[in-house]
Amino acid sequence: MLEKSIGLFFFLKKPKNYKSGAKDVYLKVTVDGIPRELSCKRKWEPSRWSVDAGRATGQKEDSRELNIYLDTLQTKAYEAKRILLDRGKVVTANAIKDILSGVEQQRRMFIYLFQKHNDEMSKMIGNGVAKGTWTNFNTSLTHTKEFIKYKYKAADMNILSLDVEFIKDFYAWLRTEKKCAHNSAIKNLANMKKIVLDCVEKKWLVGDPFAGFDMTRTEVKPTFLMMDELKAIMEKEITNDRLVRVRDVFVFCCFTGLAFIDVRQLKRSEVVKGFDGEYWISKDRQKEGVLSQIPLLPVCIELLKKYENDPMCCANNMLLPVLSNQKYNSYLKEIAVICNINKELTSHVARHTFGTSVTLGNGVPITTIKEMLGHKTLKQTLHYARVLAVKTSEDMQVLKSKLTGTFSL
């Protein structure tokens, strides 16, 4: 590929509302006939300037200093061209201007890149990106800003300063200052790593600084209800209408596996009659964007009918009276106390209960559960669907009856 020639020319430019006196010194960079102007951050008197030479005239000290500065800037412009060629980039007037003005360097500041990533992600909410995911990345960005300010007393840092020691220190800071659990701290680092790997891919970083850091998460056993606990909640006489509504939503999720955001956004058009003549939920999961198809059990159909003409549901175009997640979880704690459930009830407990006690515990194959939960991989489902000891015992009793009398010693 032939090298492109560039034209460099220094000139004086009138500032805004100029009447007389010194003018601004500018550099014009031209590549393929396309010019771009760059301020040299200097002023000079027109009477002491050579238009043809593009330099200050005279032998005074200030003239010599300006000309040395302009010579240095000219050298840097040619160096910028060489940098672009070495990187295999297209040489343009804009690209040279960006290097000289420091714009390219700004683009390699970590907080700048993190913010840019999050801004681009926000435009994709509802189109492949869940709002919750974007919120998590913003939280990670906030933590990163606070840590850089704490460690460097600065608002940003160059990506070249990222190393494994920085990551270790950040992890320790998240654990101690932010009181994050191990998995929560690792999640924040994983979000940061996405931006770092983008830099590695663009060859702005030679290697991955995370390569020397263990990102393994601690396995957390999810909380779920046994069938007798779920039955106790369903059969408990509750007189408080607010708690009755929260219980109904919770029970619906226990028998459908819907996450909080998915039941809150459930539309009438997503409850359809299937090929078998039964009612199904056919819905794209908000988090994964994966189609989730769930046959509705009688208790779920009963709950949908109960709130079919409910004023709150009709006013908010909802099928069930779902409150905010904060209020919902708060009221679930009250229900747990009333029903003598010694587990912390949350919106996610219902989803785990569906995957474990309701389905797997009653013989539904794990692959079927995966489809109903809307998971992309079986590994995700295994986190939700835990094999119960009672189920293991039942399965082995079946095997025992089949093998009895078949073998002998």
Round to whole Å and give the CA distance between 199 and 117. 12
pLDDT at residue 68, rounded to an integer: 94
Longest dimension (CA), the chain: 115
State how beta strands 55-56 and 271-273 pair. unpaired
The model's pLDDT over 266-314, given as tens digits with 9 standing for 90+, comes to: 999 999 998 999 999 998 776 666 788 899 999 999 999 999 999 999 9
Q: Is the pLDDT of residue 151 over 80?
A: yes
Range 140-152 average pLDDT: 95
Range 235-239 average pLDDT: 94
Q: Which helix (H) or strand (E) holds 144?
A: helix 131-152
Cβ atoms within 10 Å of 51's Cβ, excluding its own: 11
Local structure of 294: helix, strand or coil = strand
What is the percent of the chain with per-residue pLDDT over 90, rounded to a whole number? 58
List the CATH code of the domain at 227-395: 1.10.443.10
The model's pLDDT over 388-406, given as tens digits with 9 standing for 90+, comes to: 666 777 778 878 888 777 7
- Cα 376-377-378 angle, rounded to 5 deg: 135
The model's pLDDT over 175-205, given as tens digits with 9 standing for 90+, comes to: 999 999 999 999 999 999 999 999 888 877 8
126: alpha, beta or left? (left if phi > 0; alpha if psi -120 to 50): left
Range 326-344 average pLDDT: 95
Tokens of residue 78, six digits: 């040619």
pLDDT at residue 160, rounded to an integer: 82
Supply the pTM of this predicted model.
Answer: 0.63
Tokens of residue 220, six digits: 């957390």
Range 74-101 average pLDDT: 83
Look over the chain and give the mean of its residue pLDDT values, rounded to a whole number. 89
Cβ atoms within 10 Å of 252's Cβ, excluding its own: 24
Per the listing, tokens 């007798």 go with 228
pLDDT at residue 5, rounded to an integer: 79
CB 258 within 8 Å of CB 270: no
Sorting pLDDT into bands at 50, 70 and 90, what band is 143?
very high
The fold adopted by the segment(s) 110-212 is DNA polymerase; domain 1 (1.10.150)
CB 320 within 8 Å of CB 248: yes
pLDDT at residue 220, rounded to an integer: 79
Q: How many whole angstroms from its chain centre is CA 314?
A: 33
Q: Is the pLDDT of residue 1 over 60?
A: no
pLDDT at residue 147, rounded to an integer: 96
Tokens of residue 257, six digits: 């596996």
Alpha carbon separation from 158 to 86, 162, 371 (Å, rounded):
21, 8, 44
pLDDT at residue 91, rounded to an integer: 87
What is the percent of the chain with per-residue pLDDT over 70, rounded to a whole number? 93
Q: Is the pLDDT of residue 107 over 80?
A: no
Cα R_g (the chain), whole angstroms: 32
Identity of the amino acid at 82: R
Tokens of residue 252, six digits: 């619906």
Extents of the domains making up the chain: 6-104, 110-212, 227-395
Sorting pLDDT into bands at 50, 70 and 90, what band is 67?
very high
> What single-letter DSSP state applies at residue 92?
-
- Cα 279-284-285 angle, rounded to 5 deg: 110
Range 329-358 average pLDDT: 94
Tokens of residue 112, six digits: 């700048």
Contacts of residue 210, defined as CB under 8 A and 6 or more positions apart, other chains included, come to 164, 167, 189, 193, 196
Question: Does 27 or 132 have the greater pLDDT score?
Answer: 27
Question: Does 7 or 3 have the greater pLDDT score?
Answer: 7
How many CA atoms within 13 Å lie on the side-chain side of 178? Answer: 23
Local structure of 192: helix, strand or coil = helix
Identity of the amino acid at 123: K
CB 257 within 8 Å of CB 373: yes
Closest CA to 354 of 203, 185, 362, 313: 362
